[in-house]
Amino acid sequence: MGWICSQPQSLDEISRAQRWFIFLVGVAETVLWSGNVFGWASLVHVMKMRGVYEDLCLQDLTHNPTQPNPTHLIIHHDFQSAGGCEAQDKVYALLYTIACVVYSLPGVLVGYALHHFGLVFTRVLGGGMVCVGFIFLALTSAATPNYLWGATIMLAVGGNAVRLSCLQFANLFPVGRNSAMAIISGIYTSSAGVFMLLQAMYEAGIRWDWCCLVFAAASSFVVFLTPLIPRHHIPYTSEGVGKDDDDEEEEEEEEKSVKSSILSLSSLLHAYWLFINLFGSALFVTHFNAWINKFVHSRDELSMFSRYFGLANIFCVLVTPIPGLSIDLFSYWLKKGKSGTQAQVATLQAMIAPMFVVSASVIMQTAMLLLRTPGAVYVGLVGLIINRPSVHAVGNPFIRARYPASHFNRLLGFQNSALAMLAFLQYFHFTWAQHHESLTFGLTLTAMILSLAHPLHLLSTSYLTRVLTPASPHLTSASSHLTPASPHLTPASPHLTPASPHLTPASPHLTHQ
């Protein structure tokens, strides 16, 4: 058990059994804890049943006595408790917006924590916050509704820290890295199903606080299993890290290189594509409960659709491996007979088709919010099953293939933080759509179509070749040393023939030109 609390210098020091154990631990943690807040619609249904922020509906009736059927809240109290009102929906929409913002906003800090402090620090921090989040959720009631804010923030920040930590586990399998990363990247969406399980347990008659405390205890295993994970990081390759942490000049150059990666055209287009597709998925969750309230006729029907929403998040597990496998398959076909930079170009172009599929499903899902039929719910949930696990499952391998491996954690962190700032738009979108629905969603769908510029720019082989060539491993310092392998020292050169007594490969005058 010498691998406990250790830091291997290369993958050769990690046995096959240990790799699979670590990877499966990462999969389990990602499935359970990395994105619980995205099951928001199921949680909102339970919170309304428990009367959390129900007083806002009573205030709404008091301040607007002329609204149609003011006695509806009293006559149909059971349904209204789960259905809510506009004032209550706005609070939950704001809460979910905050959840999405704080989920991604500390991403840059998590990325740098992983880079400098390592897995142990980041995992313990993330797992501890998820545990505390469920404890706050246990304390949430109609009398103490504000605990929901603490629960939301803890579950969001902690879940993202767990997710970003587990992403490193893809490095355990260099050959199948895209598939492994796609699984870890996409399977986090299934953790949204935890709130559906909480809903089912509560509706079965189990006390709410006991339900939450069970999940709090289970999430603490993230901390307890941490000693079985490499202390600082998963080695990038079997050849070790190859980085001298004591060399300050190299570190400074590395930081400059990271900045150039962040500001590149590909990075900016990718950030926009990532934002607009995640935004579409988040909008569906934000609007879901208020949307179905507009055409359901009973509390049972409302509960049924909320459960379907939770089940859709669980079914995302079935889709999770597909993006990575498709990228690996397309990459295998496109890379035949190619090497070096051209092979890297082929790997990036293998992501074009999956990106189009993701964008199409998000556009379809968002368009369904304009309709008022149960059929639109089913189509929207199918879109959710496709795109929710696929956005990150395609996006993260793109960053890993497009930029140096050492930039991955920090690039991911910077992009997540940038996306978080834009996530504030969710709440304004929700409130604007209450009054100008067609205009709001029309502009949203247009912005989604524009995001197709990202996969389209990958069609340019010349652009990709140009930007990838400086980072190619073939362009090393050997270009300044004229070795016998140099194309300028071929036997065919009339000035540098093997017969020349002054220009032999061993000549000391040929070490530098």
| Residue 118: CATH number of its domain | 1.20.1250.20
pLDDT band at 488 (very low <50, low <70, confident <90, very high): very low
Eight-state DSSP code of residue 169:
G
Residues 6+ apart with CB under 8 A from 324: 178, 179, 180, 181, 182, 183, 185, 186, 393, 397
Q: What is the pLDDT of residue 367?
A: 95
Residue with tokens 């109609």: 142
**Terminal Cα distance for the chain, rounded:** 53
pLDDT band at 83 (very low <50, low <70, confident <90, very high): low
Residue 141 lies in a domain: yes
Q: What is the pLDDT of residue 248?
A: 45
Residues 6+ apart with CB under 8 A from 9: 235, 240, 241
Is residue 72 predicted with pLDDT exceeding 60? no
Tell me the mean pLDDT in the region 312-336: 84
Q: What is the pLDDT of residue 228?
A: 85
Residue 4 lies in a domain: no
Instruction: Return phi, psi of residue 453, to 5°.
Output: -60, -30
Number of Cβ within 10 Å of residue 218's Cβ equals: 15
Q: What is the pLDDT of residue 130?
A: 96
Residue 247 lies in a domain: no
Interatomic CA distance for residues 395 and 165, integer angstroms:
16
Lowest mean pLDDT among 271-275, 339-343, 463-467, 499-503: 499-503
Residue 244 lies in a domain: no
Interatomic CA distance for residues 154 and 160, integer angstroms:
10
Interatomic CA distance for residues 163 and 180, integer angstroms:
14
Q: Of residues 252 and 104, which shows the higher confidence score? A: 104
Residue with tokens 């790799």: 19
Instruction: Return phi, psi of residue 151, to 5°.
Output: -60, -45
pLDDT band at 328 (very low <50, low <70, confident <90, very high): confident
Is residue 475 predicted with pLDDT exceeding 70? no
Interatomic CA distance for residues 237 and 177, integer angstroms:
11
Interatomic CA distance for residues 100 and 408, integer angstroms:
22
pLDDT in tens, 253-301: 555 577 777 788 888 899 899 889 988 988 898 889 889 888 888 888 8
Tell me the mean pLDDT in the region 455-475: 76
* Element at 134 (helix H, strand E): helix 119-139
Is residue 55 predicted with pLDDT exceeding 70? yes
Of the candidates 131, 122, 332, the one whose C-alpha atom is nearest the C-alpha of residue 233 is 122
Q: Of residues 498 and 355, which shows the higher confidence score? A: 355
Among 17-31, 171-185, 425-439, name the most confident range.
17-31
> Average pLDDT over the chain, rounded to whole?
79
Q: Of residues 494 and 180, which shows the higher confidence score? A: 180
Q: Which residues span the domain enclosing 184?
A: 11-237+260-471
pLDDT band at 214 (very low <50, low <70, confident <90, very high): very high
Is residue 476 predicted with pLDDT exceeding 80? no
Instruction: Return phi, psi of residue 225, to 5°.
Output: -85, -10
Number of domains in the chain: 1
417, 104 Cβ separation under 8 angstroms: yes
Is residue 125 predicted with pLDDT exceeding 90? yes
Is residue 500 predicted with pLDDT exceeding 50? no
* Element at 391 (helix H, strand E): helix 374-402
Q: What is the pLDDT of residue 43?
A: 92
DSSP codes of every residue in 256-295: HHHHHHHTSHHHHHHHHHHHHHHHHHHHHHHHHHHHHTTT
pLDDT band at 490 (very low <50, low <70, confident <90, very high): very low
Tell me the mean pLDDT in the region 470-493: 40
pLDDT band at 28 (very low <50, low <70, confident <90, very high): very high
342, 465 Cβ separation under 8 angstroms: yes
Q: What is the pLDDT of residue 498?
A: 43
Instruction: Indicate the pTM of the whole model.
Output: 0.66
Is residue 507 predicted with pLDDT exceeding 60? no
Q: What is the pLDDT of residue 271?
A: 87
Q: What is the pLDDT of residue 485?
A: 41
Q: Of residues 483 and 44, which shows the higher confidence score? A: 44
pLDDT in tens, 217-233: 999 999 999 888 888 88
Residue 507 lies in a domain: no
Q: Of residues 276 and 246, which shows the higher confidence score? A: 276
Is residue 361 predicted with pLDDT exceeding 90? yes
Is residue 192 predicted with pLDDT exceeding 50? yes
CA distances from 338 to 20, 399, 456 (A): 31, 21, 22
Residue 476 lies in a domain: no
Tell me the mean pLDDT in the region 381-386: 92
Instruction: Return phi, psi of residue 168, to 5°.
Output: -65, -25
Is residue 207 predicted with pLDDT exceeding 90? yes
Q: What is the pLDDT of residue 24?
A: 92
Is residue 3 predicted with pLDDT exceeding 60? no
Q: What is the pLDDT of residue 446?
A: 96
